[in-house]
Amino acid sequence: MDYDSILSFVKKDKKVRNGVLHFIVLDALGKGNICDKVSYDLIKESLKILL
């Protein structure tokens, strides 16, 4: 599967609001924060490294 195909699924995720993906990041067990500072370009670059 190519990166653009994966990103097309990510963009349809329930955590996308107004075109911005929101990640839930755990600081500790039971302590989560919402992070919306991750660009789709950064996700794509990360996928290139992982895949």
Kindly report the pTM of this predicted structure.
0.65
Task: Tell me the average pLDDT across 4-9.
Answer: 88
pLDDT digits (tens, 9 = 90+) for 13-49: 888 888 888 989 999 999 999 999 988 899 889 988 9
From residue 41, how far is each of 16, 38, 47 by CA, in Å? 15, 8, 10
7 pLDDT more than 90: no
Q: What is the pLDDT at residue 50?
A: 86
Q: What is the pLDDT at residue 19?
A: 84
Q: Which of 12, 19, 9 is nearest to 39 (CA)?
A: 19
Domain count, the chain: 1
Domain that holds residue 26: 3-50
